[in-house]
Each structure stands twice: as C-alpha cells, then as structure tokens.
C-alpha cells in the first residue's frame, strides 16, 4: 500500500476531519510527507478542507 492509500484509509477510519500531523502519527511518516500528498489528493479532488488546517475525505 502506498502512502496516498494509507492517508485515504486513515481518513476513512477516523471518520472526521484531521490535521496532517495526526495522520502522520497514524501511519508513521513525517508530517511534511503527509502534507505533500494531501496537496496532491486535494488537486485530484479526493479530499477537501472543511476548515483551516483540517482535511477530510471527499464524500
């Protein structure tokens, strides 16, 4: 499973908006790596930001 998939899975498991740092702790990677992938996932339309610094899976 690649990092992008792990990030999407962590959103599904949490069931609520999360910060990149929270996701990083869940999947054991640095938060800057998570932030990079979040940017890509946002461009792809898979996640969105409901409020500042929080992200959630696009439903």
The ranges assigned to domains in the chain are 3-57
CATH 3.40.225.10 fits 3-57, yes or no: no
Interatomic CA distance for residues 29 and 7, integer angstroms: 10
Q: Are 45 and 58 in contact (CB under 8 A)?
A: yes
List Cβ neighbours of 20 (8 Å cut-off, separation of 6 or more).
31, 34, 35, 38, 53, 55
pTM: 0.89
Mean pLDDT of the region 5-9: 96
Query: pLDDT grade, residue 2 (50/70/90)?
Result: very high
What's residue 59's pLDDT?
A: 78
């Amino acid at each position: 499973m690649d990092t992008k998939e792990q990030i999407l899975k962590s959103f599904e498991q949490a069931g609520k908006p999360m910060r990149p740092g929270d996701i990083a702790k869940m999947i054991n990677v640095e938060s800057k790596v998570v932030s990079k992938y979040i940017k890509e996932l946002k461009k792809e339309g898979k996640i969105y930001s409901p409020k500042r610094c929080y992200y959630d899976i696009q439903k």
